[in-house]
């Protein structure tokens, strides 16, 4: 089955052609990073205007790269939300128009489900997920722990009470004078730093909680940087690198510990990492290490052992970590399989900036 995926939830105009939810025939991503670098973040109206300019050329390029024509498609999958309304409108309008004119089924996809199903892209054909599994979706806009007992069934275990981890990376990058998006830049700078020199607050929250909070950490880093500036009159490269390393370590520790706590609590057989921050090498390494050693640290920093041999998956390609349309086509495929009668060419998808993953797909 060939699906066209369309993703415009934030600042990437992306269109992909994916076969059977796994094989990526094309995945064109037109990034607006250079435009938003100037403002240090995404201005929604600017992003929307750029989507308008890019939408049709990106569709044409995705079809050309996949070497297929529109009539060969079996359906159109599009990001319905969550995301920026003005950006979502552009992708959804393109998808509604294509589905109606081609008489092909239209599949509205939750963006977070897209990140989850990015883990199926370009995976060995022999791979079949073992349920239950726990997914940590960690991105600029979302940060959730999700339990899947079955294909396309999502149960929310915990989420951020304030900022998402990617957003925290972006804000700390700004404080350290790095450009947008901050995650990759912090990761790069952290390589020159020592995470142990600067001590940052414990952000585990109360015992057993699977929620996250990063705003206290952000304030602590801000105060530390301000104090250093007042004391020294400038920020040395070594100080900035030490801050980046300590910040990254604190965030990755809490993300990895809670992912494993969630797996322990639910008896999961697999753990999956998804979203932009899943590109972070330190986060992957920490999770891998804890999976091998079969323990994680609890809210008091004490080792907690778990008995199951967990399998750990993250996207097979860095391009599948951050926003892309291949993941939307993949999620659309599995959604179509699960609920085949729900999707026709007659429906019109409305963008929903606040679309909830767990409610939207189980009802």
Q: Which residues bind Zn ion (CB under 5 A)?
A: 139, 323
Q: Is 320 in the site for ligand KG4 (CB under 6 A)?
A: no
Which CB sits closer to ligand KG4, 140 or 332?
A: 140
Which single residue is written with the structure tokens 């070497």? 67
All residues at 6 or more sequence positions from 1 whose CB lies less than 8 Å from its CB, including other chains: 19, 20, 21, 74, 75, 333, 336
- Radius of gyration from C-alpha coordinates of the chain: 21
For residue 245, report the phi and psi dihedrals to the nearest 5 degrees.
-65, -45
Provide the strand spans (E) within the chain.
Answer: 2-7, 12-19, 23-31, 75-81, 106-110, 133-138, 143-148, 155-159, 270-274, 295-297, 303-305, 311-313
CB 38 within 8 A of CB 50: no
All residues at 6 or more sequence positions from 342 whose CB lies less than 8 Å from its CB, including other chains: none
Q: Which of residues 248-277 bind ligand KG4 (CB under 6 A)?
A: 275-277
> Which runs of consecutive H residues, i.e. helices, occur in 176-214?
182-190
When binding is defined by CB under 6 A, the residue of 280, 306, 325, 358 that contacts ligand KG4 is 280
183's contact among ligand KG4, Zn ion, none, with CB below 5 to 8 A by partner kind, is ligand KG4
Q: Is 30 in the site for ligand KG4 (CB under 6 A)?
A: no
| 3-state DSSP percent of the chain in helix, strand and coil, to 5 | 45, 20, 35
CB of 144 to Zn ion, least distance (A): 12
Q: Is 182 in the site for ligand KG4 (CB under 6 A)?
A: yes
Site residue total, ligand KG4 (CB under 6 A): 20
CB of 13 to ligand KG4, least distance (A): 13
182's contact among ligand KG4, Zn ion, none, with CB below 5 to 8 A by partner kind, is ligand KG4
When binding is defined by CB under 6 A, the residue of 184, 200, 215, 298 that contacts ligand KG4 is 184
Binding window for ligand KG4 (CB under 6 A); candidates: 118-126, 163-171, 230-238, 347-355: 163-171
Q: Could you list the residues that contact ligand KG4 (CB under 6 A)?
A: 10, 139-141, 166-167, 169-170, 181-184, 187, 275-277, 279-280, 322-323
């Amino acid at each position: 089955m060939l699906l066209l995926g369309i993703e415009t939830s934030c600042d990437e105009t992306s269109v992909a052609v994916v076969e059977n939810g796994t094989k990526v025939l094309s995945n064109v991503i037109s990034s607006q990073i250079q435009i938003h670098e100037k403002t240090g973040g995404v201005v929604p109206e600017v992003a929307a205007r750029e989507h308008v300019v890019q939408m049709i050329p990106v569709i044409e390029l995705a079809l050309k790269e996949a070497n297929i024509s529109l009539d060969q498609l079996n359906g159109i999958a599009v990001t319905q939300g969550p995301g920026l309304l003005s950006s979502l409108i552009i992708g959804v309008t393109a998808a509604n128009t294509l589905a109606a004119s081609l008489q092909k089924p239209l599949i509205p996809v939750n963006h977070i489900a897209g990140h989850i199903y990015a883990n199926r892209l370009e995976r060995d054909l022999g791979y079949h997920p073992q349920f239950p599994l726990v997914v940590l979706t960690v991105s600029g806009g979302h940060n959730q722990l999700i339990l899947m007992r079955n294909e396309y069934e999502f149960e929310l275990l915990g989420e951020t009470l304030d900022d998402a981890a990617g957003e925290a990376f972006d804000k700390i990058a700004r404080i350290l004078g790095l450009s947008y998006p901050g995650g990759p830049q912090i990761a790069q700078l952290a390589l020159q730093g020592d995470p142990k020199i600067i001590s940052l607050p414990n952000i585990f929250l109360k015992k057993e909680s699977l929620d996250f909070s990063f705003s206290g950490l952000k304030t602590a880093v801000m105060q530390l940087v301000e104090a250093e500036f007042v004391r020294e009159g400038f920020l040395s490269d070594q100080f900035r690198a030490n801050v980046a390393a300590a910040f990254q370590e604190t965030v990755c520790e809490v993300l990895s510990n809670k992912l494993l706590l969630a797996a322990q609590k639910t008896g999961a057989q697999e753990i999956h990492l998804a979203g932009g921050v899943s590109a972070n090498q330190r986060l992957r390494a920490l999770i891998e290490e804890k999976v091998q050693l079969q323990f994680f640290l609890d809210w008091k920093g004490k080792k907690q052992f778990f008995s199951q041999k967990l399998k750990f998956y993250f996207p097979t390609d860095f391009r599948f970590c951050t926003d892309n349309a291949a993941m939307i086509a993949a999620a659309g495929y599995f959604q179509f399989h699960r609920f085949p009668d729900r999707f026709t060419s007659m429906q019109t998808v409305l963008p929903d900036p606040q679309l909830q993953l767990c409610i939207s797909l189980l009802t």
